[in-house]
Amino acid sequence: MLAILLTHGAAQAEEDWLVRSQTILDRLEGQPRPDWLDNNPHQAEADQQALDLVNASKSKALAAMPNGLTNHPQGKPVRVMFVSFSLGEPALKGIFQEASGQEDVLLVFRGPKPGQKLPGFFADLKALLKDIEPVPNIVIDPTRFQKWKVTTVPEIVVEAQGRALLRVKGVTSLDWVKSRQNAGRQGDLGSFGEVYDIAEIDLLEAIKSRLATLDGPRLKQQAIARFWEKRQFEVLPEVREDRDRTIDLTVTAPRDLMAPNGNLIIRAGHTVNPLDQLAFGLCLIVFDATQRAQLDTVKQLSCRDKNARVLYLATQLSREDGWEGLKNLEIMLDAPVYLLTSDVRQRFQLQHVPAVVEQAGNRIAVRERKVLKSAAGAKS
C-alpha cells in the first residue's frame, strides 16, 4: 500500500499536497513510470503542436478589434451564422450591425482570402466594423464549417450542447431565425434565399498541408534539443560527510480533508501521521548523474527495506547527451531514472546528494552518503 506524503508547512499547502499525493501515489500502483516523476519531451511537444494548431485554426478571436470578443452564454442555444466576404461588404456590414450586442450570436468565417495573411483579413474586417458598437462575436473557426458540412453562405445553425436544433440557408436575418426558434421550429428548414460560394480558404486544411511539408525528423531533433536547453534542474551539492536524519510527517488537518472519491481522509483538527496507517513503500535514491563518482557510489547504495520499490532520481543530467545519455544511464543502472522535481526535494527536505530516502518506523529516513574514495575525482 502506498502512503500519503505529508510534511510541515502552510495549512493550504498541506491540504493540496495531501489530496494530490493520494491521487498520484494511487496511480503508481502497477505503473512502470509514475506520472509525477516522468518527463516525456515527445508528449510535451505533441501537446504544444496540438495547442498551436487549435490556436491557429479554431475560434481565433479578433484580438485587434475594439472591445475584443464577448462570451456567449454557456449551455444555451447559440445562433451561429456562417459568413464570407463573398456576400459583399454591404450585406456583411448589415449582418454585423444586427449581430451587435447579441450575446447568443456567433459570426463564423472559414479563414482569410486566398493569398491573404491574417493581419490583412483583420484589417478588412475592422473597416467594416467601423462605428459598430459593441463589436459582435466574430471568430475564424474552420472546424465548425467542417462539423456542419457548410459549403455555401449564408447559413445559420442554432447550436445547443453540440447539436443542431435548427438550420436554414440563404437567410441573413437573425431576428427571422429567432422568431422560428420561439415558434418551436426544429430541424433543417431548407433554403429561403440565394447562397454563395465561400471566398475564404479553409484555414485548418491550409495548416495541415503546411505541416505535411515540414521536415518531421529535423523538427523532432530540434524539439528534443529545446527540451534539454530549457530544462531546469534541481541541483544539490555533494555530500561532505555521512549524515542520517529523520523527517516526521505528522500534521494537524486545518479542515476536513476529502479524497477525490469523496471519502473523508482526515477530520478537521485531528493530528495524523500517515505512516502509522500506510507503508511508504518506496526507496528513493537521489544523485547527480553528471558526476561519475556519484554514479559509482549509487551502484553500491542499497535500501534497508528490501520490499520497497526503488526509484532513481537524478538532480541533473548532461544537456549535451540529452535523451541518449539518459538511455545509457538507465542501461547502466538497469532501472528507469527520473528527474528530481522541486516538490519531491522540498517534501523530503533534501539537502545533499547522494542520498537514500525510505521509511524507518513511522518516520522518513534520509541517509546522505559520501562518494566512494576510489571514485572520487572522476567525472562523467
Q: Average pLDDT of 271-288?
A: 87
Cell reading at 96:
454585423
Q: What is the pLDDT of residue 194?
A: 94
Is the N-terminal amide bond of 154 cis, ω within 30° of 0? yes
pLDDT value at 327 more than 70: yes
Query: In the beta sheet, which residues pair with residue 115?
Result: none
Across residues 156-169, what is the average pLDDT? Answer: 94
Confidence at residue 223, expressed as pLDDT on a 0 to 100 scale: 67
Radius of gyration of the chain (CA): 30
- 213-231: per-residue pLDDT in tens? 666 677 666 766 777 778 8
Flag the least confident range among 125-139, 302-316, 365-379: 365-379
Task: List CB contacts of 170: < 8 A, sequence separation 6 or more.
Answer: 154, 155, 191, 192, 193, 194, 195
254 by Cβ neighbours in 10 Å (0-12 / 13-18 / 19+) ranks as middle
- pLDDT confidence of 92, banded at 50, 70, 90? very high
Q: What is the pTM of this model?
A: 0.46
The beta strand positions in the chain, using DSSP E, are 60-61, 78-82, 105-109, 138-140, 152-153, 155-160, 163-169, 187-191, 196-197, 243-247, 251-252, 257-258, 264-266, 271-272, 282-287, 309-314, 337-339, 355-360, 363-368
Cβ atoms within 10 Å, residue 324? 11
- High-pLDDT (> 70) share of the chain, %: 74
Task: Give just the sign of the alpha carbon dihedral 324, 328, 334, 338.
Answer: negative
pLDDT at 18: 41
Quote the pLDDT of residue 312. Answer: 94
| Between residues 289 and 37, the one the model is more confident about | 289
